[in-house]
Structure 1
């Protein structure tokens, strides 16, 4: 079997992803909270209802949620396009701590950007990250996002980025 067949696969979020997605979020909560606002206890307590709401938003075409899944069905990351309006959307992504440093974020973000321009008919994307998250900044740079100004995210300085598709 070739190495590429064992590569994690990007999948559009579906009802069956809920258990693995919840496990991913729980296992990486502290890791994510170091660079992103914490989701809070209610996120985990009300996960089933929230998952259903996300799927409804996706069905309406206002958001597109993706999971990066390994051969065992474990979620290694997620890449989302939210607030789809006027041909544009906000990109957000997170990769499991155990899967960082392998190029998975860059590959998955690149795939979602391709989908945004082809399958979803978008013409531009926005993203933002803090200065203290060099990994995220590197992913955006590698994929071709351009800095579009300084901002504050959760009280921390950062940069807004844009990408024309």
Structure 2
């Protein structure tokens, strides 16, 4: 059973493998990270851990029993009891309900461990799978926006309800 784990230094090799194996898959719905992301991965991973230590962000991985990373689930821009949720799931894990599982679990952690009361998430209109995950996990659309130049919907989840 996959487990949502807080990002740690030990995750670096598996996370890099996840990003490399799914690069083309992710690029279908979000902008590609670029070659520099991979060339400078160790420094970027260390920077994420340092940022997480400040409490401004909370990064998590959905990890299979064998240590394989199946998804990333992140809370960024944490302030005033609110945070922005972002996630991505491996191509081989898509369609199995793991995105919903990860979003639900991260919502619980956001409320119970991090003391948050509100999450905000956005998904491009061209990404119906992400829109469905947000809807199924209780997020409510609040406005149309542009997300990296694409029409999208911003959603809100009240964690106190």
Please report the TM-score for the alignment, with normalisation by the length of structure 1.
0.95
RMSD of aligned alpha carbons = 0.6
Q: Distance in 2 between matches of 1:151 and 1:11?
A: 31
Q: Distance in 2 between matches of 1:113 and 1:66?
A: 12
Out of 70, 81, 95, the position equivalent to 1:101 is 95
1:72 aligned counterpart, secondary structure: coil
Paired residue for 1:146?
140
Paired residue for 1:157?
151
Out of 12, 17, 23, the position equivalent to 1:18 is 12
Q: Distance in 1 between matches of 2:27 and 2:147?
A: 13
Q: Distance in 1 between matches of 2:148 and 2:123?
A: 10
- Alignment gaps of 5+ in structure 2: none
Per-residue deviation at 1:13? Answer: 0.4
Q: Distance in 1 between matches of 2:32 and 2:77?
A: 20
| Deviation >4 Å, runs of 4+ | none
Paired residue for 2:55?
61
Out of 118, 122, 126, the position equivalent to 2:120 is 126
Answer yes or no: is 1:9 the counterpart of 2:8: no
- Alignment gaps of 5+ in structure 1: 1-6
Equivalent pairs, count: 159
